[in-house]
């Protein structure tokens, strides 16, 4: 059943050149890169802080997979990484996570960094509606305590992770894996305080990795007695003060990340697993006997949901063959990580079989990379919108590489500069000069191949 709403006037809150919706990794990249091109940029975020999954789901050791590889962080991500450590320091005791963020410090840093970059931030600004004139977005509507309000821009960038703006504008999308539409599980991360850091690191050991390995064996031999179907137990930072700042465990499977009823079910289910794993760890490991739950992530986090129908859809075959695109806007180490959407951990984690028989986990291999084309950020049928981050146009398996946090920030940069050029060159984002786009992205710290070298 559907009800009909009467048309109403909506107050115009403000106007700007470029409106970025979603203040996660992609939105940060987009807003800063556009502001650095001299444009008036507003960033909308539904939560009260920036950082997306890094700060809201405690995913702090974003680039852990670059450890012991020839690759280094690039662009705005590298700048944030370096400046945030220098200015706030961190208390990381595990060698493995030396480069992980403290996400609470990151929140503080981002507030300052974004404002210094000239980006205007509006928190508590949830978007699920747009005003359209055929294929053109006229305004985006935010839901506020004072009712709906409009914000008008020349160009819009959707970095909501779920492609909420593109969806509202009528852009087509795919979601989940091909055969059944299932997405990867939703996760509610937690933090534990009171760990015995000295014992966990005694004689050069990495006690948390040992606990993770022991858990996997115990789960597979049916010895944990836990209800959650998650078979792995990855930990993030361990501080000298005994804080384990990221436990990536409590997962709910089979959810639609865009469905309000599924989201509620997932939050409730995951929080029971939070308590289960806390009690299990406290009981099972001497070094953790004094732990307490320090915090539970404010919201369930997702690794994939809508993927827009773009002018070009990036495929796993493109990535596996390191296909070169003339409109390349980001080059990234080949790395895939897809948690089995149905919790089936059979298979060897290889990308062959496309994860349809289990999970995918392929680490970086040598110096292999893949490229992202600008066309994958351009939705079909809307002429003033770009989409960056995990919801850009890709197939489901490709998304397991596209979703890497630092790459989301790089694709954000591509969108930010693309939107800025569309304004400067008075054309649609699809028509901007690719050589200008790549030139500016290089100047902003991204390593892109030169035509003569491919
Ligand atoms: C538990 C977990 C572990 C992970 N581990 C890793 C890892 O180790 N390394 C790694 O690289 N990646 C990891 N990922 C994946 C990574 O976190 C995401 O792919 C990445 O954060 C996507 O970035 P994004 O900017 O596209 O979206 P998000 O990080 O989801 O950010 C989207 C932002 O938009 C805001 N927003 C959403 N909808 C709206 C709306 N309608 N209106 C206004 N604002 C809105 C959100 O509040 C959020 O701030 C993990 C993900 C999860 C959930």
The pick from 21, 52, 298, 393 for probing ligand 1's pocket by mutation, whose C-beta has the most ligand atoms within 8 angstroms, reads 52
List, in order, residues 6 or more apart from 353 with CB less than 8 Å away. Answer: 347
Distance CA 89, CA 81 (A): 11
Count of Cβ atoms closer than 10 Å to residue 275 Cβ: 13
Distance CA 122, CA 101 (A): 24
The pick from 20, 21, 23, 24 for probing ligand 1's pocket by mutation, whose C-beta has the most ligand atoms within 8 angstroms, reads 24
CA–centroid distance, residue 277 to ligand 1 (Å): 24
Q: Is 59 in the pocket of ligand 1 (CB under 6 A)?
A: yes
Q: Is 306 in the pocket of ligand 1 (CB under 6 A)?
A: no
Which ligand 1 atom minimizes the distance to the CA of 299?
Answer: 47
pTM: 0.97
Q: Is 297 in the pocket of ligand 1 (CB under 6 A)?
A: no
The pick from 19, 21, 59 for probing ligand 1's pocket by mutation, whose C-beta has the most ligand atoms within 8 angstroms, reads 59
Which ligand 1 atom minimizes the distance to the CA of 189?
Answer: 1
Q: Is 388 in the pocket of ligand 1 (CB under 6 A)?
A: no
Which contacts qualify for 63-69: CB closer than 8 Å, 24 or more apart? 63/99, 63/404, 63/405, 63/406, 64/96, 64/97, 64/99, 64/100, 65/333, 65/335, 65/337, 65/363, 65/364, 65/404, 66/333, 66/364, 67/96, 67/99, 69/333, 69/364
Work out the burial of residue 192: count CB atoms within 10 Å of its CB; fewer than 13 is exposed, 13-18 middle, 19 or more buried.
buried
Which ligand 1 atom minimizes the distance to the CA of 61?
Answer: 8
- Closest C-alpha to 159, from 325, 18, 312, 59: 18
| Residue at token pair 């106007």 | 15
So what's the pLDDT on residue 99?
77
The pick from 21, 22, 406 for probing ligand 1's pocket by mutation, whose C-beta has the most ligand atoms within 8 angstroms, reads 22
Mean pLDDT by 10 residues, the chain (454 residues): 90 98 98 98 98 97 90 96 91 83 96 98 97 98 96 98 98 94 97 98 96 95 95 95 97 98 98 98 98 98 98 96 97 94 83 70 93 98 98 96 98 98 98 98 96 65
Q: Is 389 in the pocket of ligand 1 (CB under 6 A)?
A: yes
CA–centroid distance, residue 189 to ligand 1 (Å): 13
CA–centroid distance, residue 258 to ligand 1 (Å): 13
CA–centroid distance, residue 161 to ligand 1 (Å): 6
So what's the pLDDT on residue 5?
87
């Amino acid at each position: 059943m559907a009800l009909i709403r009467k048309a109403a006037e909506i107050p115009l809150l403000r106007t700007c050149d470029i409106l970025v919706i979603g203040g996660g990794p992609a939105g940060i990249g987009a807003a800063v890169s556009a502001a650095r091109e001299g444009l008036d940029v507003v960033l909308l975020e539904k939560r009260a802080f920036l950082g997306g999954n890094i700060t809201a789901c405690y995913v702090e050791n974003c680039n852990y997979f670059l450890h012991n590889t020839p690759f280094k962080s690039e662009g705005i991500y590298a700048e944030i990484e370096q400046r945030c450590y220098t200015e706030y320091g961190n208390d990381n005791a595990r060698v493995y996570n030396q480069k992980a963020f403290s996400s609470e410090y990151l929140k503080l840093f981002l507030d300052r960094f974004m404002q210094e970059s000239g980006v205007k931030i509006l928190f508590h600004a949830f978007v699920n509606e747009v005003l359209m004139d055929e294929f053109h977005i006229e305004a985006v509507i935010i839901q506020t305590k004072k009712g709906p309000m409009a914000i008008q821009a020349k160009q819009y960038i959707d970095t909501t992770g779920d492609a909420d703006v593109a969806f509202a504008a009528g852009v087509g999308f795919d979601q989940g894996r091909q055969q059944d539409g299932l997405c990867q599980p939703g996760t509610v991360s937690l933090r534990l305080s009171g760990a015995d850091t000295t014992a966990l690191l005694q004689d050069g050991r990495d006690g948390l990795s040992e606990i993770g390995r022991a858990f996997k064996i115990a789960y597979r031999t049916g010895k944990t007695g836990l209800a959650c179907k998650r078979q792995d137990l990855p930990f993030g930072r361990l501080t000298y003060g005994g804080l384990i700042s990221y436990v990536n465990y409590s997962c709910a499977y089979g959810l639609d990340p865009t469905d309000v009823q599924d989201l509620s079910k997932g939050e409730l289910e995951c929080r029971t697993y939070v308590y289960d794993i806390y009690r299990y760890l406290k009981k099972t490991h001497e070094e953790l006997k004094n732990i307490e739950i320090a915090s539970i992530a404010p919201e369930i986090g997702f690794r994939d949901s809508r993927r827009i129908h773009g002018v070009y859809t990036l495929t796993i075959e493109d990535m596996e063959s390191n296909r070169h695109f003339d409109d390349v806007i980001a080059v990234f180490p080949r790395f895939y990580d897809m948690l089995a959407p149905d919790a089936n951990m059979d298979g060897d984690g290889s990308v062959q079989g496309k994860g349809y028989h289990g999970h995918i986990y392929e680490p970086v291999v040598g110096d292999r990379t893949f490229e992202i084309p600008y066309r994958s950020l351009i939705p079909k049928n809307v002429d003033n919108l770009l989409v960056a981050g995990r919801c850009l146009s890709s197939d489901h398996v490709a998304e397991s590489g596209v979703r890497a946090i630092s790459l989301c920030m790089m694709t954000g940069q591509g969108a930010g500069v693309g939107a800025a050029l569309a304004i400067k060159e008075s054309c649609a984002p699809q028509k901007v000069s690719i050589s200008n786009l790549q030139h500016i992205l290089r100047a902003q710290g991204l390593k892109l191949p030169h035509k003569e070298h491919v």
